Every structure is written in structure tokens, then in C-alpha cells.
Amino acid sequence: MVAPDGIAQSRSSPAQRAHATIAIDAARGSDVTESRGRLGWTCLRITLSVLIAAHGWVRLLGGGIEPFGAWLDAQGLPFGPAIATAITAVEVLGTIAYAPGRFVWPLSLAYASIYTVGIVLVHAPAGWFVVGAGRNGAEYSVLLIVCLLCVGWQHAPRKQVT
């Protein structure tokens, strides 16, 4: 079939065209796959940064550090206000480094630890679901933790093979 511009076009199906694209990508080597992988991890890391920063900024700008600290004290944690301030600082300042790929491994571990404690203190008693079949459950926090650990693992220090 010839298009109005004179260029021949095949009558291939979308599946055939997709298969041909995969074959072209394979012929180019692993560069395409690696760049797609890097792009995917970068998008996930930036998305996590935005979500985590939102927690900290809302607490900071909305006057939530003091009530959060008082709540931590009521849960029996020592130095509740100091912990609330530190968590807020890590959520606000840490994400500025996390988004461009700085200190990803230690920040991932810190964030995963913070949200794990959040599951224990808040979300697990409320059940699994955040909405729908439940309210304020653990599912969103578990998803964040898994994503944080996967992104962090991509930046974890590697042992040198000798």
C-alpha cells in the first residue's frame, strides 16, 4: 500500500509492529533497555520524593509538628517533639537530595524505617485498606516502603570483586 506521500506502508498488525520494535531494540543492544530502566527508576525516585516531601511540607506549614510530637509522647515515645521535628526535617530536606539521586540508599532506609514505625503505631491497627473496605490501613505505607527499598537497592554500595 502506498500512502499519499508516496511512501510504502505495510499492512502489519499492531502486534507485528510491536514485535518489529522489540527486534529493533534488541539489535541496538542493551543500551535501550538500560536507558529505559534508568528512566523508570528515576521516575519512581522523583515520584517518591514528591510524595514524601508533601508529608513534611504539610506538617511544617500547617503547624502539625507540635501536635505530632505530642501524639508521639502520648504513645510512650521519649522526646516526641524532637522526633516529630527530625522526621519533618528528613521529609522536607532529604527529598531535595533524594530526587536528583543523592544519598538515596541511606535516605531510603530512613524513610522505610519511619513508615514502618507508622504502620506499627497507626496503620496496622486500622487494618489493611486505606479506603474502600477499610480506612487508614497499611496498604499505602507498605507500597511506599517496598518502592523505597527497591529504589534504594539500586543505589546501594556494591562490594568490589577482586
> Rounded to whole angstroms, how far apart are CA atoms 43 and 147?
12
70-123 tens-digit pLDDT:
999 999 999 999 999 999 999 999 999 999 999 999 999 999 999 999 999 999
CA angle 75, 123, 142 (to 5 degrees): 130
The full set of domain ranges for the chain reads 40-154
One-letter amino acid for residue 80 of the chain: G
Contacts of 143 (CB under 8 A, 6+ apart): none
Contact 125, 135 (CB under 8 A): no
* Full-model pTM: 0.77
